[in-house]
Structure formats: structure tokens, C-alpha cells
Amino acid sequence: MLLGVGVFLTVGHGMAWEGMSEAERAAELAMWAPTPAQLAEQLAALQGSYFDVVAHRAFFVFMAQTMYFLLFFFWRCGGMMLLGMALYKWSFLDGRRSERAYLLAAATGVPIGLALAWYGVMELERVRFGMPERTVVDVWREQFLELGSIPGIQYVQIFENRGAMMGASNPHPHCQIWANAHLPTVPAREQASLTGYRAKHGECMLCRYLAAELEIMERVVCENAGFVALVPFWAIWPFEMMILSRTHLAGVAELDSAGRDLLGDILRRVSIRYDNLFAVPLPNSMGFHQQPTDGLEHPEWHLHLHFFPPLLRSATIRKFSVGYEMLAMPQRDFTPEMAAARLREAGEVHYRGPQAG
Ligand SMILES: [Zn+2]
Ligand SMILES: [Zn+2]
């Protein structure tokens, strides 16, 4: 059993970003950016015959059933099985031992089990399985550039649904990137507004808006040298937020290394503030709005991100956009200024400890 626990922790640590060497991290990232040759090989195998697929998968399957089985599954399953067999043989499972024996087993087993489980939970809390935000920003940018360069792709939508309440099927943070052959409705509407404002006033609407918010500082939640997080005055969701770049950038493609560090920094801080709000990993949908990838110049676009969390008063009481919202107009339960004040108070030390977030 001890071997089982030890192997489990070793494997767990090896899989966490924190436990990886530089070379392992590079290999992990390379997996997310396959070369065209690797992609072609994978596609050819998976679209080929049964035997092509077998040849492609054989090595991994062989390893899973030999090495991984011996190192990992054997100890976990075999250990439990041997334990069960022993207890059965000692007539422990059919209730034929003395009452004292069962009490003794409970008195020793429960504390040991609890201690082991507690240690496991603490280790998971400590290592986490997330990547540093800067790494995620780099992958987003690479994917944007790669997908955007494909002829016919007009817009690359990067977004993330977090939490079951927003339809996420996996509990860990994971994003989606949709490459569109057309400009979808919402960015198209924003593009029309940005173009119209620029034509009329000769400046960028979002640069002007950001300057106005920074002047009054009532709805700004947090900021760094590159980005500002604020609750927009038109917010419809109770704790809706927006991150805007301070300088006029059309999209992530224009972010240099320092800019990507700063975007990672503000994303981390915003997500800690959100989690602290109700002391839960706050469910939300977030995503980028930026220039289309239609090959044209887009001086009107100003890089920004939107965050839409559904919660209203607590971890379980959510905002429903129903009745009046459907028939008349959005109805706000509190003002964006109040929401910004709550988010400022939420602080940037994660409620589960300084390491988390
Ligand atoms: Zn601008
Ligand atoms: Zn937008």
C-alpha cells in the first residue's frame, strides 16, 4: 500500500507543471504546437485503415499495458486486491472476529486513512495542475497566429468556460479556440462601433473610454503597467469585468514578451479576486475580442477581454436573465460601482492560501 501511495504521488508530481524539468516543460509545450509534418502524419494514420491506426497507436498502448501498468496500476489495484484477500482469509469480512478486533481496526485505520487522505489533498493543493499564466498567454498567441494564417479563417475566437454552471465538463481550467470562416455577430457589432467612432471622432473609442475610467477610478478594479481591469458601466452580469490594454493594440499578435507577462499578471490577479468574492472557484465565461484575421489592416481594433460570471449573491445564488430581462431590458441588482468596490475589497491573496489561484 505504501508503494502504491508513493508511486501515485511520484506520478502526480511528475505530471504537475511545478514538478517538471525545463526539458519536460519544453516537450509538453511542443505537444501543443505540432509541426505540419507531425499533423499530416497523425491525420494520415487516423484517416487510414485499421492497421494504420494500430501501427500509430501500438507503442503507446504497449507502454500503457507494460511499463505504466507495472509502475502505477498494478500497485494500486493489486494492493487493494491483496488487502481484500487477506481480510477475507482472516474471516474479517464475514463478521466472525471479536468486537474488540473491529473496534481496534477502526481506531487504527480511520486515523491512518484520514492522515493519508489529508496529505494527498494538501499535496494536490500545493502542486496544482495549472500552468503559469504567461505560458498560457504564449500558447493563445501562437494559436491565434497559426490559425489566423490559414487562408479563409476570418476570426479566431479564444474563450474559456469555467465551472459546471457555465457548462464546463472538466473541473480544471481549459480553454477553447474556434477558428471561424466569417466574422461572428458580437465582434462584428463591436467592429462596426469602433469603425464608426473612429470615423466620427478621429480616435479609438476604447482608448477614450479607458482614459475616462482612469480619470474617475470608480469602476477600476486593478491595473498594471500594461492592462486595466474594470467593471464596464454597461455591465449586465453582476460581476462582469473587462480587461483592456493600456496602449492601442489590435490584438495578441502585437504583444511583446513584456506585454505577455503583464497580461498573465492581470489574468492571475483577476481570477484570484473572482475566487475570493464568494470563496469558491468562481464560474465564468471569459474570452478575447481582437482584430479579425482577414489579412486586412485593423487600426480600429483595441485588444480587450470580457468576463461574464453568473453568480449574484453567493456561491449558489445565481443571476437569471429571465422575465423583465427577456421582455423589457437588462435589470441590474446592484450598480457597477458597487461591484467594482466588492472586487477591490476581495484582495489578491487567494482564499485558499498564497500559492493557490
Ligand atoms: Zn484604442
Ligand atoms: Zn468586446
pLDDT digits (tens, 9 = 90+) for 12-27: 556 677 777 888 888 8
The ligand whose atoms approach the alpha carbon of 304 most closely is 2
Question: How close is the Cα of 305 to the center of ligand 2, in Å?
Answer: 7
Q: Contact, 259 vs 121, CB < 8 A?
A: no
The ligand whose atoms approach the alpha carbon of 243 most closely is 2
Q: Which CATH architecture has domain 133-345?
A: 2-Layer Sandwich (3.30)
**What's the whole-number mean pLDDT along residues 216-231?**
97
Q: Contact, 184 vs 158, CB < 8 A?
A: no
Question: How close is the Cα of 177 to the center of ligand 2, in Å?
Answer: 16
Q: Is the pLDDT of residue 2 over 60?
A: no
- pLDDT band per the 50, 70, 90 thresholds, residue 257: very high
Question: How close is the Cα of 197 to the center of ligand 1, in Å?
Answer: 11
Q: Contact, 266 vs 227, CB < 8 A?
A: yes
> What pLDDT sits at residue 71?
82
CA–CA dist 18, 265 (Å, integer) = 18
Note the pLDDT tens digit of each residue in 31-88: 877 888 888 888 888 898 999 899 888 998 998 888 888 887 888 788 889 889 999 9
CA–CA dist 195, 189 (Å, integer) = 10
Catalytic residue among 13, 172, 174, 298: 174
- pLDDT band per the 50, 70, 90 thresholds, residue 328: confident
Question: How close is the Cα of 207 to the center of ligand 1, in Å?
Answer: 4
165 backbone dihedrals φ, ψ, rounded to 5°: -65, -25
The ligand whose atoms approach the alpha carbon of 254 most closely is 1
- pLDDT band per the 50, 70, 90 thresholds, residue 315: confident
The reported pTM is: 0.75
Q: Is the pLDDT of residue 150 over 90?
A: yes
The proportion of the chain whose per-residue pLDDT surpasses 90, expressed as a percent, equals 54
**Higher pLDDT pick, 286 / 5:** 286
> What pLDDT sits at residue 130?
66
Range list for CATH 3.30.428.10 in the chain:
133-345
CA–CA dist 59, 64 (Å, integer) = 9
Question: How close is the Cα of 87 to the center of ligand 1, in Å?
Answer: 70
CA–CA dist 87, 178 (Å, integer) = 54
248 as an active site residue: the answer is no
> What pLDDT sits at residue 174?
75
- pLDDT band per the 50, 70, 90 thresholds, residue 320: confident
Report helix, strand or coil for 309.
Answer: coil
Q: Contact, 339 vs 242, CB < 8 A?
A: no
Task: Work out the number of other CB atoms within 10 angstroms of the CB of residue 95.
Answer: 8
What DSSP state is assigned to residue 241? E
Beta pairing class for 227-230 and 155-162: unpaired
What DSSP state is assigned to residue 130? P
> What pLDDT sits at residue 10?
56
> What pLDDT sits at residue 314?
78
> What pLDDT sits at residue 312?
77
**What's the whole-number mean pLDDT along residues 262-285?**
93
Q: Is the pLDDT of residue 212 over 90?
A: yes
The ligand whose atoms approach the alpha carbon of 197 most closely is 1
Angle between helices 2-15 and 99-127 (to 10 degrees): 10
Note the pLDDT tens digit of each residue in 337-346: 999 999 999 9
**What's the whole-number mean pLDDT along residues 249-277?**
95
Question: How close is the Cα of 161 to the center of ligand 2, in Å?
Answer: 16
Report helix, strand or coil for 306.
Answer: strand
Question: How close is the Cα of 340 to the center of ligand 2, in Å?
Answer: 19
Q: Is the pLDDT of residue 219 over 60?
A: yes
> What pLDDT sits at residue 79?
84
CA–CA dist 200, 187 (Å, integer) = 20
